[in-house]
Amino acid sequence: MKRDPRTIIFTLWRCLKLQCPVCGRASIVERPFNLKHHRTTCGVIFKREEGFFVGAIMANVVATEIFILILYFACLLLTNFSDRITLTILFVAGVTFPIVFYHHSWSLWLGLDHLIEGLPRESSRQ
């Protein structure tokens, strides 16, 4: 299915803001490190079968690795920190970035699933 580029941009923008990728009206986060099961107004289900969010975990790991590499090269090229300071910075970033990016990785995974095949809705709303 071919998508309009504006639809893709709006969906990804909603995901970055942690909003519902379908309607964009409310947050997908129920509380820290916990997603809402579904969206009551549009009826979209966020929590799916077991293993669905392995992709979100993978996205978080890959984003963390890319961030660490960029940070490492920035430390090498732009500073004259010692190896000990550089490794400390990388360690702290490697621990904190996945925690900070946790909800965003889930949101982006939901958005990509919505763009590719559409998110399922509650059976009473179909």
- What ranges do the domains of the chain cover? 5-125
Q: What is the pLDDT of residues 25-56, one digit of tens each?
A: 878 887 887 777 777 777 787 777 778 788 88
Which residues have C-beta within 8 Å of that of residue 46, sequence separation ≥ 6? 28, 35, 36, 37, 38, 39, 110, 119
The identity of residue 82, as a single letter, is S
SS3 50: coil
CA gap 112, 117 in Å, rounded: 9
pLDDT in tens, 71-123: 999 999 999 999 999 999 999 999 999 999 999 998 898 888 888 887 777 66
pTM over 0.85: no
Residue 67 structure tokens: 């961030």
